[in-house]
Amino acid sequence: MAWFVLIVSGALEAVWATALGRSDGLTRGVPTAVFGVALIASMLGLGYAMRTLPTGTSYAVWVGIGAALTVGYAMATGGESASPVKIALLVMLIGAVVGLQLVGQ
């Protein structure tokens, strides 16, 4: 259960990071609200997962998932350029996250 919560929390990190970017310095209401709710939920999930999983592994997986999804979403929506090198690096990042989960069990 902790791994599932950690993965969802990592996805919520991507939500709050994207919302923060769209909030225009926390001046736009809806993106700011999405940022706040996703941030709190993401942190609560990370904290829950850390009760069972090692801190370093939990944090690395949480950040890796959040970073990969944030960049992937930005590339898919045209907010950031995509290149074969960026895509290969994201695939390696995801592979590292999966590897941490496999050795963490």
Cα–Cα distance for residue pair 12/70, rounded to 1 Å: 10
What is the average per-residue pLDDT within 33-54? Answer: 97
pLDDT higher than 70, residue 105 = no
What is the average per-residue pLDDT within 75-80? Answer: 94
Task: For the beta carbon of residue 68, count every other beta carbon within 10 angstroms.
Answer: 21
Which pTM value belongs to this model?
A: 0.89
What is the average per-residue pLDDT within 44-72? Answer: 95
The first and second tokens of residue 80, run together, are 């950031």
What is the average per-residue pLDDT within 1-26? Answer: 96
Number of H helices, E strands in the chain: 4, 0
Band of residue 103 on the pLDDT scale cut at 50, 70, 90 = confident
Instruction: Return contacts of 34-39, CB within 8 angstroms, 24+ apart.
Output: 38/12, 38/13, 39/12
